[in-house]
């Protein structure tokens, strides 16, 4: 055998091995893909409970790019969120599924939501009950948001070591002026609106009289709405929660610290049972799962794939009402889900305008506002949608304030909940300067410029009077344009809108009274209104979202079949959640950093409630 023939034979052998390994790799990938796709629609027992167990925050739109979010979940990173529409779609489908006679509501890992988002889920629970099926809720710590949902159940079971803790609503901003003064940081504020309190955390050491007035007004409206929803669901006297909260500090010590019995005597819960006892109650209703030893169940996170497949089949060939979610801060450019990008959201609206199958649009707004430029970009695209003859209906969630109201202004109809926080029609700009800070360590700035404006926008120099006059004129003009857009959309005069604007925040019920909102109702009501305007009787409501590539869809399918946490353990995740909860100064500084970009105006509502 020659050397040449030896190497030729070796090459052929290696090439054959390469082909075999390539084929094996393709077969493995194919098996993974088939396994992932098979898991797309779960197997449902002949009789089982639908297990609804929201984790983290209940949101209108999941935060972050889908694939990045999936990878974070696999590594155990990120902040836990549950998508509202996954739960509502599951519950609506289960209401007519004969295999699902019971819904089990487990609230142990639920961290909260706005009252409006809670009400949407509560509506789905009530519809499930209206179909003649039972809802059973159980938990150990029924905090205010958890109890809102638990109260919608036929049976509410509280652990013997648990409690129902209702505190009402409050708003206690963190004020940074004292610290900023000590650091020598000047916060130069330009605003319009007597009630535009967004800048006050940086300019005051306490709440202004105007902010106190409006905050008390909308907080009372939220608390009244909460009490009405819970007492109605539990068939309690209208003052039951007032009595319970008012006597809580005395009634629990009088009961020897047994808060569960206090809640039972107040008829807030059906019974006091441990988790095992509650599971036994569910086993009586749907049977025992031999594998787990608990009750037979299918999780909402699995069942939603079945619900969506059924929904898609029913929607085939029907005209569509497109739903676009605008959730989070409004920022310039392309932004991931969970924030509202000027360009990315405008692109979705344009897609709906150009899609001949989309006959009307519902814009679901859950935003306290942000960039005026991005809001204007979205506003203009909504005007183009309207000019194309497609009805536009806005459905307001927890927040639709400042920039969130700006983008709602062109709507044919605006729907809100009594607990929506909206309005806050005002504009501001913040320009921090640190020349005094530098002076504290002996640093000074001096020099010359070619014009009166030269160097006036440097962060290390005081703002000049010329630039101050320019910025204030821009703010005033921005406010005038904001008011004009609202007046046009609401068919009112500028004077009428200015009287209810001035940066004031309104609860949905009050916003309806003053004309900022057309109707009080749910998301479903808004979709029906859009369909009526488009003269549709048989239609499908469809969320319009950025298209995912085949590879991205595969990653998400694989995420559902195998979740592996290999970076952050549960202790690390718990510590990060604790840090977020108890770090108000960091939150306020982060907000300041978002609203201090050069040459930007902002319409934002710092109206967060807890």
Strand ranges for 130-275 from DSSP E: 134-142, 155-164, 186-192, 271-272
The alpha carbon of residue 29 and the mean position of all alpha carbons in its chain are separated, in whole angstroms, by 36
Per-residue b or e along 410-430, where b marks 16 or more CB atoms closer than 10 Å to that residue's CB: bbbbbbbbbbbbbbbbbbbbb
Cβ proximity of 301 and 341 under 8 Å: no
Nearest in space to 526 (alpha carbons), one of 401, 406, 362, 397:
362
Could you confirm whether 596 is annotated as catalytic? no
Per-residue b or e along 134-168, where b marks 16 or more CB atoms closer than 10 Å to that residue's CB: bbbbbbbbbbbbbbbbbbbbebbbbbeebbbbbee
What distance in Å separates the CA atoms of residue 366 and residue 433, rounded to the nearest whole number? 32
The alpha carbon of residue 601 and the mean position of all alpha carbons in its chain are separated, in whole angstroms, by 24
The encoded tokens of residue 44 equal 């449902």
Q: Which residues pair with 50 in a beta bridge?
A: 103, 298
Host H or E run for residue 6: helix 3-38
What distance in Å separates the CA atoms of residue 159 and residue 259, rounded to the nearest whole number? 10
First vs last Cα of the chain: how many Å apart? 85
What distance in Å separates the CA atoms of residue 263 and residue 268, rounded to the nearest whole number? 5
Alpha-carbon distance values, 141 to 111, 248, 595 (Å): 11, 15, 37
- Sort 184 into a burial class: Cβ within 10 Å, 0-12 / 13-18 / 19+: middle
Could you confirm whether 109 is annotated as catalytic? no
Task: Tally DSSP H helices, then E strands, for the chain.
Answer: 23, 23
Tell me the torsion sign for CA atoms 427, 223, 511, 347.
positive
Question: Strand 413-416 to strand 369-371: parallel, antiparallel, or no bridges (unpaired)?
Answer: unpaired
Is residue 46 helix, strand or coil? coil
Is residue 405 helix, strand or coil? helix
Non-local CB neighbours of 233 within 8 Å, separated by 6+ positions = 122, 126, 151, 152
| Given the residues 63, 90, 133, 196, the one annotated as active site | 196
Question: Strand 369-371 to strand 602-604: parallel, antiparallel, or no bridges (unpaired)?
Answer: antiparallel
> If you count them, how many residues does the chain have?
610
Radius of gyration of the chain (CA): 28
The encoded tokens of residue 214 equal 């409006």
* Residue with token string 């900022």: 516
Nearest in space to 84 (alpha carbons), one of 317, 366, 357, 480:
366
Which residues are catalytically annotated?
Answer: 196, 402
């Amino acid at each position: 055998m020659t050397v040449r023939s030896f190497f030729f034979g070796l090459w052929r052998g290696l090439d054959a091995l390469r082909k075999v390994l390539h084929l094996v790799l393709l077969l493995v990938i194919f098996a993974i893909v088939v396994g992932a796709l098979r898991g797309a629609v779960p197997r449902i027992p002949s009789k089982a409970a639908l297990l609804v167990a929201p984790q983290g925050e209940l949101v209108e739109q999941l935060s972050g790019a889908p694939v990045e979010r999936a990878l974070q979940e696999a590594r155990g990173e990120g902040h836990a969120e549950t998508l509202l529409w996954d739960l509502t779609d599951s519950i609506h489908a289960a209401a007519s599924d004969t295999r699902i006679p019971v819904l089990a509501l487990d609230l142990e890992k639920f961290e909260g939501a706005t009252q409006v988002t809670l009400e949407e889920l509560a509506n789905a629970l009530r519809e499930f009950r209206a179909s003649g099926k039972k809802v059973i809720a159980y938990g150990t710590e029924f905090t205010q948001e958890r109890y809102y949902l638990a109260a919608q159940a036929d049976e509410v079971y509280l652990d013997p070591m648990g409690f129902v803790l209702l505190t009402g609503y409050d708003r206690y901003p963190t004020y940074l002026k004292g610290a900023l003064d000590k650091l020598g940081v000047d916060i130069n504020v330009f605003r319009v609106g007597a009630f535009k309190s967004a800048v006050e955390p940086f300019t005051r050491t306490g709440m202004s009289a105007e902010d106190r007035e409006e905050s008390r007004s909308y907080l009372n409206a939220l608390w009244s709405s909460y009490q009405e929803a819970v007492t109605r669901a539990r068939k309690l006297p209208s003052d039951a929660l007032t009595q319970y909260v008012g006597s809580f500090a005395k009634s629990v010590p009088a009961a020897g610290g047994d808060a569960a019995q206090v809640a039972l005597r107040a008829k807030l819960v059906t019974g006091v049972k441990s988790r095992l006892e509650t599971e036994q109650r569910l086993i009586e209703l749907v049977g025992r799962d031999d594998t787990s030893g608990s009750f037979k169940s299918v999780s909402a996170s699995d069942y939603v794939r079945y619900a969506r497949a059924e929904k898609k089949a029913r929607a085939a060939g029907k005209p569509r009402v497109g739903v676009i979610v605008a959730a989070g801060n409004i920022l310039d450019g392309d932004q991931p889900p969970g924030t509202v990008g000027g360009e990315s959201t405008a692109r979705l609206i344009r897609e709906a305008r150009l899609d001949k199958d989309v006959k009307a649009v519902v814009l679901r707004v859950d935003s306290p506002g942000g960039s005026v430029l991005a809001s204007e970009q979205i506003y203009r695209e909504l005007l183009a949608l309207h000019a194309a003859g497609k009805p536009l209906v806005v459905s307001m969630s927890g927040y639709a304030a400042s920039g969130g109201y700006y983008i709602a202004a062109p709507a044919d109809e605006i729907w809100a909940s009594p607990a929506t926080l909206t309005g806050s029609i005002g504009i501001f700009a913040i320009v921090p300067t640190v020349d005094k800070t530098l002076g504290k360590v002996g640093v000074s700035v001096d020099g010359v410029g070619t014009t009166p404006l030269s160097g006036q926008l440097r962060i290390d120099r005081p703002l000049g009077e010329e630039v101050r006059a320019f910025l204030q004129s821009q703010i005033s003009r921005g406010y005038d344009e904001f008011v004009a857009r609202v007046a046009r959309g609401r068919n009112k005069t500028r004077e009428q809108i200015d009287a209810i604007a001035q940066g004031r925040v309104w609860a949905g019920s009050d916003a309806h009274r003053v004309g900022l909102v057309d109707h009080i109702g749910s998301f479903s009501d808004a979709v029906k209104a859009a369909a009526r305007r488009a003269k549709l009787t048989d239609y499908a409501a469809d969320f319009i979202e950025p298209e995912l590539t085949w590879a991205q869809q595969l990653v998400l399918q694989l995420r559902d079949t195998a979740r592996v946490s290999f970076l952050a353990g549960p202790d690390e995740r718990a510590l990060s959640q604790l840090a977020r909860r108890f770090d108000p100064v960091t939150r306020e500084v982060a907000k300041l950093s978002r609203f201090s970009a050069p040459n930007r105006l902002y319409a934002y509502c710092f109206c967060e409630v807890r």
